[in-house]
Structure 1
């Protein structure tokens, strides 16, 4: 059995993170544009469930259970044998399944998936972040004091 190197694992984690955070419509549009979609069989799901969200008091204190979040997941095996897993927040079962197929496809055709799906999603995320920063900066208030004599 072949084990993945830590660089492969971190690259795969990065790709799955980008896919999970991508807007469903953007991901679906890019996936629809993929010419050679592989046939696949479902290994698990897609299904929804709950995960416990944990927090820390003050950012460094003792952990506590903040609440639960709904998560969708799916696992698929494409015809060439690669198994992909997809997770996303919410109840979007189709998105979880697409993420799983793209994950399996990325293991086989990493460069093509990066160029046609991951990089455009990264660019969209950067644009959204820049827009959010601009909107936040527009509401910034600078307070200053002036000294008025010896009063």
Structure 2
């Protein structure tokens, strides 16, 4: 799933789980793992959001309440403290890294709108500081059913 999302799971990650679910409107890819707080900050710095980090209540009210439940985890939108949210767009981040000397992006699909999340490669990222020294990363993305080159999947979530 990390390959499909375009985001790597760090070697230092623990408790990594992934799933792919077919729904009637779109398919959902999920990935979650934990990191030390220091490793999480490095991961988030290397995978910045479009725009700024936000609080989930203001960002993802559309989230399905059952997505992370089959991992035995609460939904990241339900946390009130220690959580931040943003759309991470790996293709756009790679384009920023390969910007020309003038600062112009070489990505022909790049967007100047920091809140434009129409890029199919954007992934919802939640970072929850659940203990003083651990952070859980939650990643969610949506795929058009039957149109994406994804692994074979069934009607129920797979780990």
**Where on the TM-score scale, by shorter chain, does this alignment land: which range?**
under 0.3
Judging by fraction of residues, say which structure has more helix. 1
What TM-score, normalized by structure 2, do the two folds share? 0.23
Q: Higher relative CO (CA 8 A, sep ≥ 6), structure 1 or 2?
A: 2
Larger Rg: 1
